[in-house]
Amino acid sequence: MAKTKELVGRQVPCQLCPLRKLKIFRPFNPEELAFVSRFKTGEVVLKAGAPLFLEGATSAHLYTVLSGLAFRYKLLPDGRRQILNYCMPGDFLGLQGSVMHEMQHSVEALSDMVLCIFNREGLWRLFESHAGLSFDVTWLAARSEQMLDQQLLSVGRRSAAERCAHLLLHLADRVAEVGLARSRHTIRIPITQQHIADTLGLSLVHTNRTLGRLMRLGAIRWREQEFEILDRDQLAELAGDDETSSAVRPLL
Amino acid sequence: MAKTKELVGRQVPCQLCPLRKLKIFRPFNPEELAFVSRFKTGEVVLKAGAPLFLEGATSAHLYTVLSGLAFRYKLLPDGRRQILNYCMPGDFLGLQGSVMHEMQHSVEALSDMVLCIFNREGLWRLFESHAGLSFDVTWLAARSEQMLDQQLLSVGRRSAAERCAHLLLHLADRVAEVGLARSRHTIRIPITQQHIADTLGLSLVHTNRTLGRLMRLGAIRWREQEFEILDRDQLAELAGDDETSSAVRPLL
DNA sequence: CGCGACCTTGAGTAGGCTCAATGCCGGTGG
DNA sequence: CCACCGGCATTGAGCCTACTCAAGGTCGCG
């Protein structure tokens, strides 16, 4: 049986973290970098499909995604699943668990991933000693709240086609931000239509038909677990409201 | 013309804030209280229906709800509205605006309200000087993210009846937490069925019919802009998943 | 070669939507 | 004092979006 979760000792020192080179992340001063480096206790490697958090469990850890993708979701008792959002490199995970008693959502790897591990006590020390970094943590929390707001607007008030258009644009933008787009509009993420459906509050069948319609319109291309934006303007028009929220952000 | 927004100089000193007596709020030590008191720059009085924030505007202020209710919402260009959540006494508003460039959502008073005003720079001083309070701010952000998660699950995956049941329970619980329930289950909040509809991603007509069904089941009572929980168990059963998240929380 | 994961398509159903009209109530102006 | 109006709840009718059930296709893998 293949291991799905593997713990690795400290690997990349934060100072050399490849993510920091991206201009989307604000530069840290050496002192901050040193602290974050001490804050980090190791790395985990996750196989695609493996759980990182499970709803109801308590987690002593915080993570920053180094590479790979994941999604956050909740289940209803009868198995209906709602995907809340997607986690990309640079995202900081597990704050809810560190701050509340137990996890109120689950997280599952979408692709193989590597994550930095921090622990709760470290978070407390961070607040005690580094106002700037504390502010960063809060900033990140506010940002993810914003993304949830958008998602809620979509699911609550947009039609199926609008939702699809909006989600695909949003995903494409986020992927591009962290340098994962192979070209300007070609996105390769290991996502199935079932994921899309569970993200948008639609059924699988209807999602398939809606994507099919978008394909016939020439707006996108879909080929086994990967999609491509062909006509960004058309999608943006459909989506209605194209908030481009890509602001420079901290990376813990 | 009646004023809809009125600025008032400092009124209640935080040490005497009536909200602090509620056991749902964690006790602050005198030093913290003193700081928060300095952080506070005044109060606003809002008439029901008046806006507190408008999407796209920048706001220099943060607020804590002292009394009254509000709701946070987003609009689509064509006017469709999604209510994101409700704001109750003790809630801390405007963090997004303080932390990002501009507001990505609007807030409107549901009833007459009084709010404490803080300003951005104060927030920064808070982070610099009070690790505990900074942590509290983050805690509150994580909590509201959690509530959004729940709401998203509801809108994405629950049926109309389930959504209504869940929302009414949720509102009743929150109102009771801050001591606003007139009795164990009688909730009096100035909410219309249009608000419910916009919260749940349903049409007004369908919301009305669904509530009507709940009324005929004897689960709730609805009388002009106020409702009452008659059969909590039945509602909880319908809602499926009754997370009672009422944890002791900070009050800024 | 069979199986599992995923995408696709058809057919019938139903949950939820729109349009439209009615009733109630409180406020306002003549 | 009454007529009118606007905001809110309610109900009927018909439609359509999105759902369910079901089957079939492709591809990769053991």
Asked if B52 and B108 touch (Cβ cutoff 8 Å), the reply is yes
Select the residue from B99, B140, B147 to test the A interface by mutation, using most A Cβ atoms within 10 A: B99
Q: How would you class B89 by CB atoms within 10 Å of its CB: exposed for 0-12, middle for 13-18, buried for 19 or more?
A: buried
Q: Is the pLDDT score of A242 beyond 70?
A: no
pLDDT at A188: 85
Confidence of residue A12 (pLDDT cuts 50, 70, 90): confident
Q: Is the pLDDT score of B31 beyond 90?
A: yes
Give B-chain residues touching A96 at CB under 8 angstroms. Answer: 142, 145-146
Question: How large is the average pLDDT for residues A32-56?
Answer: 94
Q: A4 versus A24: which is more confidently predicted?
A: A24
Give B-chain residues touching A157 at CB under 8 angstroms. Answer: 76, 80-82, 201
**Residue A205, H or E segment:** helix A204-216
The minimal CB distance from B247 to the residues A100, A152, A243 is found for: A100
Q: Is the pLDDT score of B4 beyond 70?
A: no
Give A-chain residues touching B138 at CB under 8 angstroms. Answer: 95, 99, 127, 134, 137-138, 141
pLDDT at A123: 95
pLDDT at B245: 67
Distance CA B146, CA A166 (A): 23
Asked if B240 and A78 touch (Cβ cutoff 8 Å), the reply is yes
Asked if B195 and B83 touch (Cβ cutoff 8 Å), the reply is yes
Q: Is the pLDDT score of B2 beyond 60?
A: no
- Angstrom CA distances, B21 to A215, A216, B34, B88, B192, stand at 59, 61, 16, 16, 30
CB contact under 8 A, A134 and B139: no
pLDDT at B226: 84
Tokens describing residue A188: 């390769």
Confidence of residue B9 (pLDDT cuts 50, 70, 90): low
DSSP B127-191: HHH-HHHHHHHHHHHHHHHHHHHHHHHHHHH--HHHHHHHHHHHHHHHHHHTT--SSSSEE----
- Nearest nt (C1') from A207 Cα: D18
Q: Is the pLDDT score of A1 beyond 50?
A: no
Give A-chain residues touching B96 at CB under 8 angstroms. Answer: 142, 145-146
Q: From the CA of B103 to the C1' of C3: give the distance in Å.
A: 52
Q: Is the pLDDT score of A236 beyond 50?
A: yes
Least confident of A30-34, B94-98, B217-221: B94-98
The minimal CB distance from B148 to the residues A76, A81, A145 is found for: A145
Q: How would you class A109 by CB atoms within 10 Å of its CB: exposed for 0-12, middle for 13-18, buried for 19 or more?
A: buried
CB contact under 8 A, B241 and A77: yes
Q: Which amino acid is at A21?
A: K
Residue given tokens 């913290």 in the structure block: B32
- Nearest nt (C1') from A222 Cα: C7
CB contact under 8 A, B152 and A149: no
pLDDT at A3: 54
Mean pLDDT of chain A: 92
Q: What would you report as the CA-atom Rg of chain A, rounded to the nearest whole angstrom? A: 18
Question: How large is the average pLDDT for residues A55-78?
Answer: 94
Confidence of residue A168 (pLDDT cuts 50, 70, 90): very high
Compute the nearest-CA separation of A140 from chain B (Å).
9
Per-residue pLDDT of B137-196, as tens digits, reads 999 999 999 999 999 999 999 999 999 999 999 999 999 999 888 777 788 899 999 999
Name A42's Cβ contacts closer than 8 Å, sequence gap at least 6: A7, A8, A9, A10, A116, A117
State CA B84 to chain mean position distance.
Answer: 10
Per-residue pLDDT of B32-72, as tens digits, reads 999 999 999 999 999 999 999 999 999 879 999 999 999 99
Question: How large is the average pLDDT for residues B97-113?
Answer: 91
Q: Which of residues 126-185 of A touch strand D (CB under 7 A)?
A: 159-161
Distance CA A50, CA A199 (A): 19
Maximal CA-CA distance, chain B: 56
Q: B120 versus A9: which is more confidently predicted?
A: B120
Q: How would you class B46 by CB atoms within 10 Å of its CB: exposed for 0-12, middle for 13-18, buried for 19 or more?
A: buried
> Strand C positions with any atom < 7 Å from protein CB?
5-11, 15-20
Distance CA B11, CA B40 (A): 10
Sheet of A51-53: strand order equals: A51-53, A106-109, A70-75, A81-87
Phi and psi based region of residue B29 (left: phi greater than 0; alpha: psi -120 to 50; beta: remaining) = beta
Q: B60 versus B8: which is more confidently predicted?
A: B60
State CA A163 to chain mean position distance.
Answer: 18
CB contact under 8 A, A157 and B76: yes
Per-residue pLDDT of B75-102, as tens digits, reads 999 999 999 999 999 999 999 888 888 8
Least confident of A92-96, B24-28, B95-99: B95-99
Q: Is the pLDDT score of A2 beyond 50?
A: no
Q: What is the pTM of this model?
A: 0.95
Question: How large is the average pLDDT for residues A2-15?
Answer: 70
Q: B224 versus A137: which is more confidently predicted?
A: A137
CB contact under 8 A, B156 and A245: no
| Protein residue closest via CA to C1' of D18 | A206
Compute the nearest-CA separation of B2 from chain A (Å).
32
Tokens describing residue B248: 């002791």
pLDDT at A216: 95
Q: Is the pLDDT score of A245 beyond 70?
A: no
Q: Is the pLDDT score of B132 beyond 50?
A: yes
Beta strands in A145-214 (DSSP E): 186-187
Q: A35 versus A5: which is more confidently predicted?
A: A35
The minimal CB distance from A151 to the residues B129, B137, B152 is found for: B152
Confidence of residue A4 (pLDDT cuts 50, 70, 90): low
Nearest CA to A134 out of B109, A102, B212, A142 is that of A142
CB contact under 8 A, A245 and B104: yes
Question: How large is the average pLDDT for residues B13-27?
Answer: 93
Q: Which amino acid is at A9?
A: G
Per-residue pLDDT of A129-146, as tens digits, reads 999 999 999 999 999 999
Q: B14 versus A185: which is more confidently predicted?
A: B14
Q: Is the pLDDT score of A250 beyond 80?
A: yes
Question: How large is the average pLDDT for residues A192-208?
Answer: 98
